[in-house]
């Protein structure tokens, strides 16, 4: 197993953006051509990418399908791409996988429609990742706009039993804030389950990256990088060389 650095491409209104703590009113547009952003990360050596339809996440159905389909068509034969946001039914999952995605990321639907997740894992075993977005140990849904009463670890154990491939764990309070990743909560989750955990939210620089990379043996197998990459706090090639050294 090799630790993965995964650039995030968050798409809203057709643009590549970053939000602060999931707030749609606090967006920064980094590019109006997400396909060029994808090209940048692929050319710099990314072997995985994380694409989110933010409009889809809040509305419950894909809104940036055309852009995402373009990226999948051009790069899915070169890198592993995971796609999330607004995925609420089996047909959409099948369509995204058919378009070239390696994984589909299910968030809100996993909480609100557990039967769908079970069916998805049965139909597309090995291709389903669940995103657990949390604040103070409780799971958020609907593009992070609603806080549920579900406990992170309890849900993660249930998802593991359902057969998901990995858990993508985000501490909402840190996401887009460059305030440092929540290493302790991420590791605690990873130690509790036997499937991989991908960390997300708050990476501000190389030191944060180093702090989470060394937790690979605890079950943290990768990290999503967003604002830190886009604002130049982390150089992707430098980060990639750290991983190569670790391997």
Look at residue 2 in the predicted model and tell me its pLDDT: 84
**Has 175 been annotated as catalytic?**
no
> DSSP letter string over 182-221?
-HHHHHHHHHH-SS-EEEES---SHHHHHHHHTTGGGTEE
Which pTM was predicted?
0.92
Residue 53, classed as helix, strand or coil, is: strand
Look at residue 1 in the predicted model and tell me its pLDDT: 55
Residue pLDDT tens, the chain, 247 long = 589 999 999 999 999 998 876 677 778 999 999 999 999 999 999 999 999 999 998 888 999 999 999 999 999 999 999 999 989 999 999 999 999 999 999 988 898 899 999 999 999 999 999 999 887 777 876 655 566 678 889 999 999 999 999 999 988 765 555 566 889 999 999 999 999 999 998 888 999 999 999 999 999 999 999 999 999 999 999 999 988 777 6
Look at residue 167 in the predicted model and tell me its pLDDT: 98
Of 104, 153, 94, give the one whose Cα is nearest residue 126: 104
Strand ranges in the chain using DSSP code E only, listed in sequence order: 4-12, 15-20, 23-31, 48-53, 80-84, 103-106, 128-135, 138-141, 146-151, 166-171, 197-200, 220-225
Q: Given 10, 53, 55, 175, which residue is catalytic?
A: 10
Look at residue 212 in the predicted model and tell me its pLDDT: 94
Residue 126, classed as helix, strand or coil, is: coil
Radius of gyration in angstroms for the set of CA atoms belonging to the chain, rounded to a whole number: 16
Of 16, 66, 17, give the one whose Cα is nearest residue 39: 16
Look at residue 168 in the predicted model and tell me its pLDDT: 97
Look at residue 58 in the predicted model and tell me its pLDDT: 85
Q: Given 55, 133, 162, 208, which residue is catalytic?
A: 133
Within 10 angstroms of residue 70's Cβ, the number of other Cβ atoms is 15
**Has 10 been annotated as catalytic?**
yes
Strand ranges in 46-120 using DSSP code E only, listed in sequence order: 48-53, 80-84, 103-106
Look at residue 175 in the predicted model and tell me its pLDDT: 52
Burial class of residue 126 in the structure, from the number of CB atoms within 10 Å of its CB (0-12 exposed, 13-18 middle, 19+ buried) = exposed
């Amino acid at each position: 197993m090799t630790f993965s650095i995964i650039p995030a491409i968050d798409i809203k209104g057709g643009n590549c953006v970053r939000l602060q703590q999931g707030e749609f009113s606090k967006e920064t547009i980094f590019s109006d051509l997400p396909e060029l952003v994808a090209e940048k990360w692929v050319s710099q050596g990314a072997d995985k990418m994380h694409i989110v339809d933010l409009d889809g996440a809040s509305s419950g159905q894909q809104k940036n399908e055309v852009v995402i389909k373009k990226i999948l068509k051009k790069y899915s034969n070169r890198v592993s791409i995971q796609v999330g946001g607004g995925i609420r039914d089996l047909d959409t999952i099948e369509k995204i996988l058919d378009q070239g995605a390696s994984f589909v990321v299910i968030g809100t639907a996993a909480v609100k429609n557990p039967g769908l997740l079970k069916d998805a894992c049965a139909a597309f075993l090995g291709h389903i990742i669940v995103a657990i977005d949390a604040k103070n140990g409780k799971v958020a849904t609907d593009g992070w706009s609603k806080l549920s009463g579900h406990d992170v670890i309890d849900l993660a154990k249930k998802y593991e039993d359902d057969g998901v491939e990995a858990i993508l764990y985000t501490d909402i309070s840190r996401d887009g804030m460059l305030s440092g990743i929540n290493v302790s909560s991420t590791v605690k989750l990873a130690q509790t389950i036997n499937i991989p955990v991908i960390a997300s939210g708050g990476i501000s620089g190389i030191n944060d990256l180093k702090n989470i990379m060394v937790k690979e043996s605890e079950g943290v197998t990768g990290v999503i990088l967003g604002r830190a990459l886009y604002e130049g706090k982390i150089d992707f090639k430098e980060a990639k060389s750290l991983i190569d050294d670790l391997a």
